[in-house]
Amino acid sequence: MRSIRTLLHSLIDYAGLFPPAGLDLPTAVANYASYRASDTCWALGRFVIPAARLPELETSADPFLRGSGTPWKLAALAGADLTGDLGAIVQFNQRHGGRAVVDIIELKAGTTAAVAAALRVIDGRFDAYLEIPIANDPAPLIDALAALGGRAKVRTGGVTPEAFPPPADLLRFLRRCTAAGVPFKATAGLHHPLRGAYRLTYQPGSPCGVMFGFLNLFLAAAFVQHGMGDADALELLEESSTASLRVEQEGIGWRSHWLDDAELRHARRLAAAFGSCSFDEPRRGVVGSSRPTITPISRFRISRSESSADARAPTCRAGASRSGRQCSTWPRASTPACSPETPSGPRAPARRPV
**Quick one: pLDDT band at residue 17, thresholds 50, 70, 90?**
very high
Spatial distance between the Cα atoms of 139 and 130, rounded to a whole number of angstroms: 14
**Quick one: pLDDT band at residue 1, thresholds 50, 70, 90?**
confident
CB atoms within 10 A of CB 91: 12
Residues 6+ away with beta carbon under 8 Å from 85:
51, 52, 76, 78, 79, 105
**Quick one: pLDDT band at residue 284, thresholds 50, 70, 90?**
confident
> Mean pLDDT over residues 248-260, rounded?
96
Identify the H or E element spanning 254. Answer: strand 251-254
Spatial distance between the Cα atoms of 30 and 68, rounded to a whole number of angstroms: 13
pLDDT tens digits, 299-335: 333 333 322 222 222 233 223 333 332 222 222 223 3
Torsion 89-91-92-97 (CA) sign: positive
Q: Considering the domain 8-194+265-296 in this protein, what is its CATH number?
A: 3.20.20.120
**Quick one: pLDDT band at residue 287, thresholds 50, 70, 90?**
low
Residue 42, strand partner residues? none
Q: Yes or no: say if 183 and 322 are a contact pair by the CB < 8 Å rule.
A: no
User: How distant is the alpha carbon of residue 5 from its chain centre?
Assistant: 16
pLDDT tens digits, 35-73: 999 999 999 999 999 999 999 999 999 999 987 689 999
Greater model confidence, 334 or 140: 140
Spatial distance between the Cα atoms of 283 and 235, rounded to a whole number of angstroms: 24
| Cis peptide bond upstream of 20, omega within 30 | yes
Torsion 225-141-184-193 (CA) sign: negative
**Quick one: pLDDT band at residue 141, thresholds 50, 70, 90?**
very high
Spatial distance between the Cα atoms of 5 and 20, rounded to a whole number of angstroms: 27
**Quick one: pLDDT band at residue 349, thresholds 50, 70, 90?**
very low
Task: Indicate the domain borders of the chain.
Answer: 8-194+265-296
In 3D, which of 301, 304, 293 has the Cα closest to residue 337? 304
207, 174, 154, 1: CA torsion to nearest 10? 70
pLDDT tens digits, 79-126: 999 999 999 999 999 998 789 999 999 999 999 999 999 999 999 999
Q: Yes or no: say if 285 and 278 are a contact pair by the CB < 8 Å rule.
A: no
